[in-house]
Chain A
Amino acid sequence: MTSRRGVFEGRSADELDRVIRWALRERVAGASPSPDVWERIKARVEHWAMLKRTGEDTGLFLAFLRAVAAWLSADVLQPVFVTQPAHRDRAMTWGYDLGWARILDQHHIAMRLVS
């Protein structure tokens, strides 16, 4: 501990300032954080980076799934629910429709005729 004999003997405001400064310096004298702190920071940051990478990989996989879903809906579902009604009376359009989509559409037409 730093020697500070006579520290209370002054009477001025400057002396009070010196006393406060001294007390605060004593409070932190020689203090330094343990090396563990940096190790903990590093571990947390690396953990976050790993989570981020995993998230990105998952994101890529989801994007792939979305692309597949979009391709499927364009090739399979769209003729049934969107394109098909506009071409309903044109027999030639059936040629490149998928079989089950045509069946669904025929079923749809049949139901309309029945109703």
Chain B
Amino acid sequence: MSTQYTDDQLVVRIRDGDLEALGELYKRYKIQVYRTALAITHDEQMAEDILQETFLRVYTYADRIDEVLPLGPWLYRVTVNLAYSWVKRARLWLSSIEGFLERLLVPMHQQPERLAEEAERQRVLQCAIDALPLNQRVVVVLHYLEGLNLKEVAHVMGVPEGTVKSRLYYARESLRKAILERERRLVPEVAYDFT
């Protein structure tokens, strides 16, 4: 099978149980789904599980997919919903090892000279993104990484555009504070500010 089939044609074929059609859709969208899941969860194994579950849902619910509409937003929505479930499920488990990890990382904090500056910047930013509430993190990922505008993000998340705007505002504020905090810690006399 080649790429001559459109998404909606493939969906129709999947309804008839065509595994090859599902494979074709998987090839087209696996990176988008995986990247979104990975950016939200920051966990490769979890992102793969979400990717797998997303396409099993495409197969199971193919008859509920409106083939007239583009498939991308539907996939984003399923991915985001699954990411919510996965992250919430993992949170309990993570909280139990959080203390252990903190103890493990303390020596690194105490010896910043051993870390490359880029790695430190990355670490701070990644931690700040991970620390965002899930609702805000999803908005940030869809908007900044996937390039969706606010209206599209609102559609994917099933919330009003104003809610997306507000979540994005608070997310940016949190990230700005994290960056400034890091700058102040490294160079106390220099305090850059983002407007």
Query: A3 to B59, Cβ gap below 8 A?
Result: no
Q: B193 touching A38 by the CB < 8 A rule?
A: no
B140 beta carbon closer than 8 Å to chain A? yes
Assess the B118–A4 pair: CB atoms within 8 A.
Answer: yes
Answer yes or no: A86 CB below 8 A from chain B CBs.
Answer: no
Contact at B59–A28, with CB atoms within 8 Å? no
Which of A5, A7, A13, A37 contacts B52, CB < 8 Å? Answer: A37
Contact A1 B129, beta carbon cutoff 8 Å: no
Residue-wise interface mask of A (49-75) relative to B, using a CB-CB cutoff of 8 A (1 in contact, 0 not): 100000000000000000000000000
Chain B residues, CB < 8 A from A38: 23, 26, 30
Using known A-B contacts A4-B118, A41-B52, determine if residue A24 contacts B179 with beta carbons closer than 8 Å. Answer: no
Q: Is the interface of B mostly helix, strand, loop or mixed?
A: helix
Contacts of B122 in A (CB 8 A): 1, 23, 26
Who on chain A is nearest to B187 by CB? A8
Q: Is the CB of B118 within 8 A of A1?
A: yes
A25 on the B face (CB < 8 A):
yes
Knowing A19-B179, A21-B144, A32-B31, the reply to whether A13 touches B195 (Cβ < 8 A) is yes
Give the number of residues in A that approach B within 8 Å (Cβ atoms).
Answer: 38
Within 8 A of A (CB), among B163-195: 172, 175-176, 179, 182-183, 192-195
Q: A15-B194, A33-B51 are in contact. List 6 more A-B contacts (CB 8 A).
A: A12-B195, A27-B129, A34-B48, A38-B26, A44-B56, A45-B22
| B-to-A contact residues, CB < 8 Å | 17, 19, 22-23, 26, 30-31, 34-35, 38-39, 42, 44, 47-48, 51-52, 55-56, 59, 118-119, 121-122, 125-126, 129, 140-141, 144-145, 172, 175-176, 179, 182-183, 192-195
12 pairs, A vs B, C-beta closer than 8 Å: A3-B118, A4-B118, A15-B194, A20-B172, A31-B35, A31-B44, A32-B30, A33-B51, A41-B55, A44-B56, A46-B19, A48-B59
- Name A's B-contacting residues (CB within 8 A): 1, 3-5, 7-13, 15-17, 19-21, 23-28, 31-34, 36-38, 40-42, 44-46, 48-49
